[in-house]
Amino acid sequence: MGSLAINVGKKLMFDNKGTVTIIVAAAMVALIGFCSLVVDIGNLFLTRQRLNNALDAAVLAGVQELPGSPDEARDKAARCFTDNGMDMASLTGVDISGDRRTITATGQADVEFFLARVLGITSSTVNCTSAARIDLLTSATDLVPVGIKEPPPGQTLEPGREYDLKISARDASHDDWYNYLGPGNCGLLDFPGGPRGKGSSEWREDFMEGYDGWLTMGDVIDTIPGNRSGPVKQVLDDRLNKAQDCNCYPDNYDRSCPRVVLVPVYVPVGEPGDDNKVRKVEITGFALVHLSNYVDNGQESYIKAVLIGGFAEGESDPGTPSGDFGCYNIKLVK
């Protein structure tokens, strides 16, 4: 009996038949588990990224209709969402904030698993939210060195209306302008920074290429006295010649068109000097305009532009007091 027990024990200790099969089966379960992490979890993150990108594109498209058209903002966001390859059923909500400055879109997508089914996990759901907001532009770059007078209290700048950016030296119809900036000031501005001055070459460079510095609401800048009809005509002709191939109009424009420029809105600062000229102006906002007209009859030269409103590169500080001149900055906030 004792020898029988010993023989059985030896068989249990040294007979390996079936052990490899058990080990391989256990290893296969672990291997499939790791594969599911790579394949199924990777697919989960890919779906989340696609959903998030589509929502970002949707809110960035929709917010451009705010604050004026919230219904169109929702519709445009929905169209853009599906244009980015997502099913409309995945768009679970599009909301506009009470101040009509923020649009928020939410989405949901179900992801079916493949290898993870071996572990009993069949699917998962991803949820994403994106939001974009517009605020008044309070700091800007790429401006041209002319501007628009801020309207008197109780009046506003009107989109679609033509405004003077530079007036002539002898146009009696602009008495209001002369009273505003004083005689001899025709609306030319001297942007600060570097070895700059009131020379025509610096002014032409800023007008042709756009000012590469930054200006902020509340900044005080110098005026440039004089008409400078020749340099103004030359640089405006050069800029408009670059726009000859642009099919660009005030009501249907491309922001990259050379006719579309960003200008400051300003008010005079301080008391006029002995010659009754205003030497400095303060920036109170920014406006996007479409260069529409230039007339040069010697001393009778002026620049006109149509206010178009819209969006421009820059920064927004909601805490900075600002006049609403229809120029906004867009940013993702979620």
Measured distance CA(91)–CA(89) in Å, rounded: 5
Q: How many CA atoms lie within 13 A of 296 on its CB side?
A: 12
Cα separations in angstroms, 137 against 211, 250, 267: 16, 20, 17
Angle at 325 between CA 250 and CA 162, to 5 degrees: 40
pLDDT tens digits along 132-181: 999 989 999 999 999 998 888 888 889 999 998 988 766 545 556 556 67
Write down the pLDDT at residue 326.
Answer: 86
AA letter at 285: G
Candidates 149, 299, 166; CA nearest to 224 is 166
Q: Mention every residue, 6+ apart, whose C-beta is less than 8 A from residue 5.
A: none
Candidates 212, 221, 225; CA nearest to 269 is 221
Q: Can you give the C-alpha Rg of the chain in angstroms?
A: 33
The pTM is what? 0.76
Residues of the chain with pLDDT under 70: 1-40, 113-122, 169-180, 193-200, 271-276, 293-300, 320-322
Measured distance CA(265)–CA(155) in Å, rounded: 14
Given phi > 0 = left and psi -120 to 50 = alpha, else beta, which region is 306?
beta
